[in-house]
């Protein structure tokens, strides 16, 4: 057989993977270039690459290279080839043309027409008959690549892209191509893992691409075996016997390989998607080899009897506008699932946003760059071991609670590996353990909280106090403050003090999880009535900055005053508990007096003064949000007198009042200036 110059194209950043793959097929003299690999070989070598390459897009057989300075140069270069050696006049062909940095031709459609004209004119002149164009499945497909002034003309032996294995429904758009899925698996060391009978799980399997590629690798199943069309079968120089021999060899290897296939399982939350995956699996003849069922990501779990293995997936990228928060929450949940149910496993996923990978809370190996279409992505690989776990900084309070409470979750029942493929398993929801003493050792905290509440509840009842602190970092290991707020319900506000950097973060989180788990038991409240805040060294934007957007307000009552509190949107609740004595004193002294509240915050002091019988009140704060909160507080209460609310910088307002001869006079003034201000004024 003659030796040909061959070129395998591949997606950007996969050249090294393709090089290693071709070497494994016994191909030498390989040179990797941008988006492809050049090599030499006979037809058997070319056929073997078409049949066995999992990462190539196309295998091109180079017919000619020539210089193109003008449009006529392209036409003449194509006519230098004797096309009758490749097709007959009654055959069909198609042309694919691309150009880069060419001054002669920069319109690909025009370039393709020029190539077509050169071939048709040659055949018509010789035979008075011309071959037809067929863009679907022609006898041969011609590929021309023009870079600068150099053109390379090749036969596309693939016919169509090799990522089209033949098992996928062509009407279903997949989120990733098959050769990208194969590249991920090869980069993760799946071939060697499969030989060791390692298990594989895709918890977001979609239409089953990763599962099928994993099974084909493990079973020594040639990726081109299902394809019905190649670009060489209608070529005049096609060696049918050679191709038949290679296919028979591949069929035999598949038969042997399927007997030793490891456990391969996929989950997806969408029933329709699961059915699609099952159809693709059946198309590949692997219906009894791969198990797929509907299951949420939080329910993913290997059976205890399964060997440790590889969890691999293509999770959502969050590319669509508005998806960021939902996607980030998914990654946090996914990270918790990995930490609690897949310890000892390896994991891999492809992402486009590194921040999402960080939300998993597991340190990865060095990321590998891959491209999903035009989108640059990173392949993250993990060893799911406790020493690689960390708690990523939460973006909001709900996420922080989810992170900590994940430590107290109870794993799901194990999946039976022999379940019916059509079976739709139902599993219990993940629940927070109501008794967590043995898990995180919060016995000391529970005992101290019981002791404190026994003492303080009597005092609170005696003095008609509804909001008070019951624990304030009494024990060094449980560094948090716990406040009770009583209204139509009882709420508990937990403020976590940031641990020193010398304390292991995971250990601190375990202690906090134990604390949160014990509070409902000791105080007799539901878990939904416990709120968590994190007290850190404050920046100038922390304390009064909005942390969430829930807008949930609750009414409490103290000293005959009704006040609104909010446990979710801000670091503080809207009511400073340590101000209670002075608020009550103001209420006592305010009767018939003109009251001024500067730096008023939510106006609780104003409410006490008004309820105490103030002749008038003036409430000044620069924040419109807090001023509205103050107005809402006043609206909850019965009072007389005139009440004015002013949005202004308090210092500027004071200076302005002092400069006016007829400025208002006040009998009682309350000032609580902040230690800092968010304002730039």
Each residue's pLDDT tens digit, 328-362: 889 988 999 999 999 999 999 999 998 899 999 99
pLDDT of residue 146: 97
d(CA 405, CA 530): 12
Look up residue 398 and give its two tokens.
């709900």
Range with the lowest mean pLDDT among 16-25, 156-165, 316-325, 466-475?
A: 316-325
- Stretch 46-57: mean pLDDT: 98
pLDDT at 519 over 60: yes
| Most confident stretch, 257-261, 411-415, 424-428 | 257-261
Band (pLDDT 50/70/90 cuts) for residue 132 is very high
470-484 mean pLDDT:
94
How would residue 497 be classed by pLDDT, with cut points 50, 70 and 90?
A: confident
Please provide residue 371's backbone torsions phi and psi, each rounded to the nearest 5 degrees: -120, 125
563/608 Cα distance (integer angstroms): 10
**Token pair for 372:** 């999903």
Cα distances from 241 to residues 43, 138, 139, 246, in angstroms, run 11, 21, 18, 9
User: What pLDDT, on the 0 to 100 scale, is given for residue 629?
Assistant: 97
Residue 154 β-bridge partners: 62, 143
d(CA 435, CA 270): 34
Instruction: State the pLDDT at residue 570.
Output: 82
Average pLDDT score, the chain: 89
pLDDT score recorded for residue 420: 31
Which is higher by pLDDT, 677 or 367?
Answer: 367
CATH number corresponding to 575-671: 3.40.50.150
Angstrom distance (rounded) from CA 568 to CA 575: 13
CA dihedral of 517, 523, 525, 527, whole degrees rounded to 10: -10
Q: Which of 619, 572, 626 is nearest to 602 (CA)?
A: 626
The structural domains of the chain, with segments of one domain joined by +, span: 4-156, 178-223+247-408, 437-535, 575-671
Residue 38 — φ and ψ, nearest 5°? -95, 140
CA distance 361 to 365: 13
Does 404 or 151 have the greater pLDDT score?
151
Residue 502 or 595, more confident:
595
Report helix, strand or coil for 278.
helix
Give pLDDT tens digits for 527-573.
889 998 876 544 443 444 444 445 589 999 999 999 999 998 888 89
Q: How far apart are CA 342 and CA 337, in angstroms?
A: 7
Distance CA 626, CA 663 (A): 25
645: Cα within 13 Å, side-chain hemisphere: 21
Rounded to the nearest angstrom, the gap between the alpha carbon of residue 62 and the centroid of all alpha carbons in its chain is 42
H helices of 307-348, in order, are: 324-341
Percent of the chain with pLDDT over 70: 89
Please answer whether residues 577 and 426 qualify as being in contact, where contact means their C-beta atoms are separated by less than 8 angstroms: no
Least confident of 4-18, 161-175, 176-190: 161-175
Which of 154-168, 519-533, 597-611 comes out lowest in average pLDDT?
Answer: 519-533
Average pLDDT over residues 51-59: 99
Residue with tokens 């692997």: 286
Nearest to 202 by CA among 350, 328, 102: 350
The Cα 662–Cα 492 span in angstroms is 48
Q: What is the pLDDT of residue 211?
A: 99
Q: Which range (32-36, 127-131, 211-215) has the least confidence?
A: 32-36
In this prediction, residue 544 carries a pLDDT of 42
Average pLDDT of span 191-211: 98
| pLDDT given for residue 28 in this prediction | 87
d(CA 153, CA 60): 9
Distance CA 591, CA 180 (A): 77
pLDDT in tens, 163-181: 999 999 888 887 899 999 9
| pLDDT over 60 (residue 574) | yes
Query: Which element (helix H / strand E) includes 258?
Result: helix 240-258
Distance of alpha carbon 548 from alpha carbon 173, whole angstroms: 37
The per-residue pLDDT for 320 is: 55
In CATH terms, the superfamily for domain 437-535 is RNA methyltransferase domain (HRMD) like (3.30.750.80)
Q: What is the enclosing helix (H) or strand (E) of 226?
A: none
- The span from the CA of 160 to the CA of 175, in Å, is 19
CB 144 within 8 A of CB 113: no
pTM here is: 0.71
> Residue 305 pLDDT > 60, yes or no?
yes
Distance from CA of residue 404 to its chain's centroid? Answer: 19
What span, in angstroms and rounded, lies between the C-alpha atoms of 528 and 463?
28
Residue with tokens 């009894």: 288
Dump the DSSP string for 52-82.
Answer: H-SS-SEEEEEEEEEE-SSHHHHHHHHHTS-
Q: φ, ψ for residue 629 (rounded to 5)?
A: -60, -45
CA dist 451 and 445 (Å) reads 10
Q: Are 336 and 409 in contact (CB under 8 A)?
A: yes
Take residue 534 and report the two structure tokens written for it. 């994190």
Q: What is the pLDDT of residue 391?
A: 76
Give the dihedral of Cα atoms 518, 520, 521, 525; nearest 10 deg: 170
pLDDT in tens, 418-453: 333 332 332 222 222 333 333 445 899 999 999 999
Band (222; pLDDT cuts 50, 70, 90) = very high
CA distances (Å), origin 193, targets 199, 214, 254, 262, 302: 8, 11, 18, 10, 17
The pLDDT of residue 405 is 63
Can you tell me whether residue 205 is helix, strand or coil?
coil
Q: How many residues does the chain have?
A: 681
Q: Which residue has the tokens 């033949």?
A: 166
> 4-156 — its CATH code?
3.30.2130.30
- Judge whether residue 522 has pLDDT over 50: yes
Backbone angles phi, psi at 153, to 5 degrees: -110, 125
Contacts of residue 581, Cβ cutoff 8 Å, sequence gap at least 6: none
Question: Which numeric CATH code is attached to 178-223+247-408?
Answer: 3.40.50.150
What's the pLDDT at 477?
Answer: 87
What is the DSSP secondary structure assignment for residue 639, as one 8-state letter?
-
Identical fold between 178-223+247-408 and 437-535 = no
Give me 359's structure tokens: 């939300």
In which band, very low, low, confident or very high, does the pLDDT at 12 lie, cut at 50, 70 and 90? Answer: very high
pLDDT-derived band at 678 (thresholds 50, 70, 90) equals low
Angstrom distance (rounded) from CA 406 to CA 403 = 5
The C-alpha atoms of residue 437 and residue 63 are separated, in whole angstroms, by: 75
Query: 3-class DSSP state for residue 288?
Result: coil
Q: Return the pLDDT at 439.
A: 40
User: Is the Cβ–Cβ distance between 74 and 19 less than 8 Å?
Assistant: no
Q: How far apart are CA 49 and CA 41, in angstroms?
A: 10
Rounded CA gap, 473 and 513, in Å?
Answer: 15
Contact by Cβ (8 Å): 144, 96: yes
């Amino acid at each position: 057989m003659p030796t040909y110059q061959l070129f395998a194209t591949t997606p950007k950043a996969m050249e090294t993977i393709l090089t290693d793959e071709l070497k494994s097929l016994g191909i030498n003299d390989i040179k990797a270039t941008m988006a492809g690999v050049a090599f030499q070989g006979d037809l058997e070598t070319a056929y073997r690459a078409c049949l066995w390459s999992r990462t190539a897009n196309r295998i091109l057989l180079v017919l000619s290279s020539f210089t193109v300075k003008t449009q006529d140069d392209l036409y003449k270069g194509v006519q230098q080839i004797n096309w009758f050696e490749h097709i007959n006049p009654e055959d069909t062909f198609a042309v694919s043309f691309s150009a880069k940095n060419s001054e002669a031709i920069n319109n690909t459609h025009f370039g393709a027409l020029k190539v077509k004209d050169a071939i048709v004119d040659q055949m018509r002149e010789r035979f008075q008959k011309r071959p037809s164009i067929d863009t679907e499945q022609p006898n041969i497909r011609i590929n021309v690549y023009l870079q600068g002034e150099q053109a390379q003309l090749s036969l596309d032996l693939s016919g169509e892209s090799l990522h089209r294995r033949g098992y996928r429904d062509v009407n279903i758009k997949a989120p990733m191509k098959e050769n990208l899925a194969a590249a991920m698996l090869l980069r993760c060391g799946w071939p060697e893992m499969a030989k060791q009978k390692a298990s594989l799980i895709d918890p977001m399997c979609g239409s089953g691409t990763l599962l099928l590629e994993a099974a084909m690798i493990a079973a020594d199943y040639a990726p081109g075996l299902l394809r019905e069309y190649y670009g060489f079968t209608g070529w005049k120089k096609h060696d049918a016997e050679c191709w038949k021999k290679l296919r028979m060899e591949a069929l035999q290897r598949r038969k042997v390989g399927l007997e030793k296939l490891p456990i391969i399982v996929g989950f997806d939350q969408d029933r329709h998607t699961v059915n699609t995956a099952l159809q693709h699996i059946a198309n590949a003849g692997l219906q009894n080899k791969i198990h797929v069922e509907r299951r949420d990501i939080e329910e993913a779990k290997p059976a205890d009897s399964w060997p440790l293995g590889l969890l691999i997936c293509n999770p959502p990228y969050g590319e669509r506008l508005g998806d960021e928060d939902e996607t980030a929450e998914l990654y946090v949940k996914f990270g918790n699932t990995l930490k609690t149910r897949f310890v000892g496993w390896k994991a891999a996923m492809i992402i486009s946003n590194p921040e999402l990978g960080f939300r998993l809370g597991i340190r990865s190996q060095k990321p590998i760059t891959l491209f999903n279409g035009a989108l640059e992505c990173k392949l993250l690989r993990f060893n799911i071991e406790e020493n690689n776990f960390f708690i990523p900084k939460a973006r909001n309070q709900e996420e922080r609670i989810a992170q900590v409470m994940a430590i107290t979750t109870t794993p799901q029942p194990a999946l039976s590996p022999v379940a019916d493929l059509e079976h739709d398993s139902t599993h219990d929801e993940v629940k927070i353990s109501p008794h967590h003493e043995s898990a995180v050792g919060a016995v000391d905290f529970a005992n101290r909280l019981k002791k404190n509440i026994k003492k303080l509840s009597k005092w609170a009842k005696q003095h008609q106090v509804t909001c008070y602190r019951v624990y304030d970092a009494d024990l060094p290991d449980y560094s948090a403050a716990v406040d009770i707020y009583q209204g139509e319900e009882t709420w508990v506000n937990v403020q976590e003090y940031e641990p020193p950097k010398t304390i292991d973060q995971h250990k601190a989180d375990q202690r906090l999880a134990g604390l949160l788990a014990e509070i409902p038991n000791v105080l007799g409240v539901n878990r939904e009535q416990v709120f968590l805040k994190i007290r850190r060294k404050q920046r100038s934007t922390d304390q009064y900055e909005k942390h969430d957007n829930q807008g949930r307000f609750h009414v409490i009552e103290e000293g005959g005053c009704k006040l609104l509190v909010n446990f979710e949107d801000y670091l503080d609740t809207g009511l400073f508990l340590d101000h209670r004595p002075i608020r009550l004193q103001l209420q006592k002294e305010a009767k018939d007096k003109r009251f001024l509240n500067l730096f008023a915050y939510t106006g609780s002091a104003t409410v006490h003064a008004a309820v105490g019988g103030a002749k008038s009140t003036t409430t000044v704060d620069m924040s419109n949000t807090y001023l509205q909160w103050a107005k809402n507080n006043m609206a909850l209460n019965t009072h007389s007198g005139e009440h004015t609310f002013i949005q202004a910088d308090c210092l500027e307002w004071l200076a302005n009042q002092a400069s006016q001869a007829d400025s208002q006079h006040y009998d009682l003034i309350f000032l609580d200036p902040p230690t800092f201000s968010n304002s730039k004024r």
